[in-house]
Chain A
Amino acid sequence: MEQKDKNRPILSVSNLTIDYAFYRVGPFSAQHHAAVENVSFKVYPGDCFAIVGESGCGKTSILNAILGFVRPKNGAIFYNEQNLLTMARREFRLYRPEIQPVFQDFHNALNPRFRIIEILKESLRICSRKDISIEELIAVVGLGTDILNYFPHQLSGGQKQRIVIARALIPKPQLLLLDEPVSSLDITVAVQIIKLLKNLRKKENLTFLLVSHNLPIIRLLANRIAIMKNGHIFEEKPTEDLFETPEHPYTRALVNQALISCQSYQ
């Protein structure tokens, strides 16, 4: 399945519209609220593509649609030129391991009743990976074996997020979907996680689709950035271009704000 062709997008989203229905009185008076409207973008192999926007602008909905958790109203999502939305359930299951999520909410990302070692073993078994031991796996994310017998609530935020990343690597994914991977972490830990992700991308040949509202940190990781607001993507550019020549007023405000807050300490 490995596609080394740099010019063929690994993920291509076109005209995606996601609609949530609210039921006021009964199933007959549904009100619709479009969380994502007519969004298109392409992610090429080896990219780190970031979608930036305020909370509630529809970023997470896009990731959920790619993972098959919500059904979009319109549009298409091509993964390696296969439309994920029209394929049969069984076929979709084959693609599941290749696209793995890392969510923002790492406090809830690990089953609270399992020890770390059980959580990882469970995934190793389901994904039938025999070629890697748990010790090797957690070494990849920079953790020691001492935490294996802990329960999730005994770990710090950074450790939890590393375990989540380790688990996401188990099915040998091609594409990682990162939903605000560092925004609940403080800067020392956030920087370590960013570094880890950067190294992993090189070592494991991964492609990232990243979603966040924190521009300064995104800048360290992403090579393309799309700016999103109220369900629309306004502007999409390589990272440095975006910071130098923001076009849309909202982008400009966002970039300025980020730069101003950075001036507090230079």
Chain B
Amino acid sequence: MKYQTQKIAYAYFLVAMILFAVQVSMGLILGWIYVSPNFLSEILPFNVGRMLHTNSLIVWLLLGFFGAAYYLVPEEAEREIHSPKLAYLQLLILIVGTAGVVVTYLFNLFDGNFLLGNEGREFIEQPRWVKVGIVVAALIFLYNVTMTVLAGKKTAITNILLLGLWLLSLLFLFAFYNPANLALDKQYWWFIVHLWVEATWELVMASILAFLMLKLTGVDREVIEKWLYVIVATALFSGILGTGHHYYWIGMPGYWQWIGSIFSTLEVVPFFGMMAFAFVMVWKGRRDHPNKAALLWALGCATLAFFGAGVWGFLHTLHGVNYYTHGTQITAAHGHLAFFGAYVALNLAIITYAFPILKGRDPYNQVLNMASFWLMAGGMVFMTFTLTFAGTVQTHLQRVNGEFYMDVQDQLWVFYVMRFGSGVAVVLGALLFIYAVLAPRREVIEPGPVITTAAE
């Protein structure tokens, strides 16, 4: 660790991993409810559990991004973070807000209250006071990191990272606009949900990947920056109008079917670019970095993101196809592999890279960490396949043959059992990961020859 304030990342990553454990466990409960529908129906209704599953996902991913920024900005800018105090205050606000969401939902408090009640829109259903807290936290973060970068060296990596984080924070402001007209509501809702994962978060992903490649492979910064710019340009070019793939059936004008189909198809390009980037850098790289697990996660991230977002996204993005598959289990298959590949694996990669350094030891116990990669990735891929099969059957029976929704669900039961099984693997993998990162102290593998440059 070159800079003391990089330590801030430790706290962020720790909270992120706790929420990660909560998130996947909640997924497992949901998966069981699908198998046995009355499970916990009195204490934890499906809709509340689902909200906790998706919201804790978003919150921990964002915490991971913040942590990553606090970790890599000092190193890139060659400056300590402007104010560590503010950074911890920001974390505190986010923790209180998250706790507030959980309590409000679990006990169904303050229904309908303007300030305290939930808002009932997937991913952004937080009560208004929490939303205000999120904005305050984001402002603190942006101020803190921007001041650091302005005072220090400006690199392409920090520029893109900051651009992504600024834009995603600005987009969140749409969460305060909740029109009564359902079509309008959806139109603006996608400004956040889509323009996060398919535009601004991609910038964050590209810059963190670039940072990891820089450190792990030792390829020249110039080469890495060229890739970074091309990836970012294609992501923004395709992603912004690609929003149209959510406007097919919500009452927007018909021309969105063509805009959405064409631009969202091009969204495959940046994901392919990130995968090509990661592999070409490793192939070109001269450095044999001892942290093999971080490299595995980085390569796994780029690959699974390409399949989850790129391939599974394209699968149902043309409006002629989406007409049949909209809102079926195909969507769930895509949502899981895309989120896991692109953003979960990304966070686990930077955590795997940074933790040994933050703890002041050599990369350790890589075997367990790598085992957790295969367990989680294997589970996720299997889950994606089962849900894709389920979705195909569902599309045929429900959308083509016109059978009733619940009759079709009964016929999908076996797939839901298999989804639960793969979910168990994912949860075990997650717990193993957390253990592998936090607990062991002993070396398991031979350290590489040069370890004095631990901060690399």
Q: Do these two chains really belong together in a complex?
A: no
B-side residues, CB < 8 A to A, are none
Give A contacts to B, CB under 8 Å: none
